[in-house]
Structure 1
């Protein structure tokens, strides 16, 4: 089976590429834009001719679309660029994949929900409250309307990073090392999810597809630990042997962009298929932060 991964130089794409590429039964090609090289093809997803040429060259059976603008504040600061990548280029990619006979897997977010009535099943009605969530929901709709494709929604991601600020989770190590007192969000509930776990989930999905299973519509995956940013910072402190005494929790934080309260995702559609992944959040934090201690 031939697999093409967009955004293979990013936080999620790197782990997906690494795991799938280690499977001798798969032929995996990764693409990147600003960080191409090292086995990754340079591809501007906003260049439809280049996308078409890449699909013709690789002839993938499945395209895993990891590339996106995933920072809510950055989306709000430059909405045109975010919409162009998260929606317009995604719609074109879905259409081109359909024409090339490839199935597209679109990586989406828990922020398509408003966070008022968790947990959310894949069939629940989305109601995003910020621009990022609206752009990803529009991307979902574009994908599902333009071929036999499917969506995988994910919450807050973290994992092996090249720099701490690549994930809001690992960035907390810098917050802990700064002795200045700071109040962290103790209102919004998040579910940190390892990109290595997501890669394992995608690998199992591909195995089922190769065995004849059909994937269609919307699927969801999530870590199991619920925590606010303040609670997560204390977990990072415990994992790294650092003090969190200079931190405090803010029960009414002010966000530049609105955040939902709790978008817990129901992942039973995948677990009912026998798909599993994950170890404790504490072990994952310790492993991913060890190189920076």
Structure 2
């Protein structure tokens, strides 16, 4: 396949770029650097020109992903996460390519035991609202795919922000936020198996645990010096509302990322 990855210098995008390039012809974009195509998704003309180069698959990983940043500046979050979608979808529609749009578990409010693809979306923060708006634009086209992801952890080629935090002296981690974290290297193989799907699919890890449990287990496995500081909704920095239970399951496939112990063997 010929694949275009939007946001290929980011944490998720660079990992997908590296893995897909092993078996496919891959073009990646960024705002500049790393040997990637410099494209700003707000530049409609540049996006149209790039997409016109004919791809089988366009994987969208770009945008504002920091929940606190989105909450502080909703206009910027909408400008990055929603506004470029209409011209992008128009450009893709002219070529017959398929869009795989990476979304988030933050489209849910965190009050249910778990969420499958038919669950009602009810975001409680700006980031989740922007992803719902973008999902709606994608799902207006029958053959595209929305992939909702939980917290993603692991090693990434160009944006190793997850592991970098373990060089800190202290890492605050919520004891009351629970999900099925996904090991980043497992995402690309699962996506490859689901590219013929359309609509919405969930991809998550095999194990349910809190942010504090995840960070503690990673710290211990790496023998890192960082102290993991337990926090909760009363003691954590209040940068935005955060759903507390985001356990995602799928009724469309049986694929999951590995359990944490299996994943940690790859991080050492």
TM-score by length of 2: 0.90
CA distance in structure 1 between the partners assigned to 2:241 and 2:258 by the alignment:
31
User: Of 100, 116, 121, which residue of structure 1 is paired with 2:116?
Assistant: 121
Please give the root-mean-square deviation of Cα atoms over the aligned residues, in Å: 2.3
Question: Does the C-alpha gap of structure 1 residues 257 and 112 become closer, same or farther in structure 2, counting only changes over 3 Å?
Answer: same
CA distance in structure 2 between the partners assigned to 1:30 and 1:198 by the alignment:
17
Residue 269 of structure 1 pairs with residue 234 of structure 2: no
CA distance in structure 2 between the partners assigned to 1:84 and 1:242 by the alignment:
38
Question: Does the C-alpha gap of structure 1 residues 145 and 96 become closer, same or farther in structure 2, counting only changes over 3 Å?
Answer: same
The list of structure 1 runs, each at least 4 consecutive aligned residues, that deviate by more than 4 angstroms after superposition, is 162-165, 242-246
Structure 1: gaps spanning 5 or more residues? 210-214
Residue 53 of structure 1 pairs with residue 49 of structure 2: yes
Deviations 1:44-88 (A, max 9, x none): 11111001100112x011111111211100111222221112111
Given that residues 114 and 129 in structure 1 are in contact (C-alpha distance below 8 angstroms), is that contact kept between their aligned partners in structure 2?
A: yes
User: Of 122, 131, 134, which residue of structure 1 is paired with 2:126?
Assistant: 131
Residue 189 of structure 1 pairs with residue 178 of structure 2: yes
Given that residues 105 and 148 in structure 2 are in contact (C-alpha distance below 8 angstroms), is that contact kept between their aligned partners in structure 1?
A: yes
Structure 2: gaps spanning 5 or more residues? none
Q: Matched residue pairs, number? A: 267
Could you say what secondary structure the match of 1:5 adopts?
strand
How far residue 204 of structure 1 moved from its aligned partner, in angstroms, is 1.7
Q: Which structure has the larger Rg over C-alpha atoms?
A: 1
Which moves more between the two structures, 97-106 or 240-249?
A: 240-249
**Structure 1 residues 201-240: aligned runs within 5 Å:** 201-206=190-195, 209=196, 215-240=197-222
Could you say what secondary structure the match of 2:3 adopts?
strand
TM-score by length of 1: 0.83
Question: Hey, what does 1:278 align to over in structure 2?
Answer: 257
How far residue 279 of structure 1 moved from its aligned partner, in angstroms, is 3.1
User: Of 23, 26, 29, which residue of structure 1 is paired with 2:27?
Assistant: 29
Could you say what secondary structure the match of 2:129 adopts?
helix
Given that residues 9 and 159 in structure 2 are in contact (C-alpha distance below 8 angstroms), is that contact kept between their aligned partners in structure 1?
A: no
Question: Does the C-alpha gap of structure 1 residues 65 and 117 become closer, same or farther in structure 2, counting only changes over 3 Å?
Answer: same
Residue 97 of structure 1 pairs with residue 89 of structure 2: no
Higher helix share: 1
How far residue 191 of structure 1 moved from its aligned partner, in angstroms, is 2.3
Question: Does the C-alpha gap of structure 1 residues 268 and 197 become closer, same or farther in structure 2, counting only changes over 3 Å?
Answer: farther
Higher strand share: 2
Question: Hey, what does 2:19 align to over in structure 1?
Answer: 19
Given that residues 9 and 158 in structure 2 are in contact (C-alpha distance below 8 angstroms), is that contact kept between their aligned partners in structure 1?
A: no
Question: Does the C-alpha gap of structure 1 residues 237 and 195 become closer, same or farther in structure 2, counting only changes over 3 Å?
Answer: closer
Question: Does the C-alpha gap of structure 1 residues 13 and 164 become closer, same or farther in structure 2, counting only changes over 3 Å?
Answer: closer
Question: Does the C-alpha gap of structure 1 residues 230 and 277 become closer, same or farther in structure 2, counting only changes over 3 Å?
Answer: closer
Question: Hey, what does 2:63 align to over in structure 1?
Answer: 68
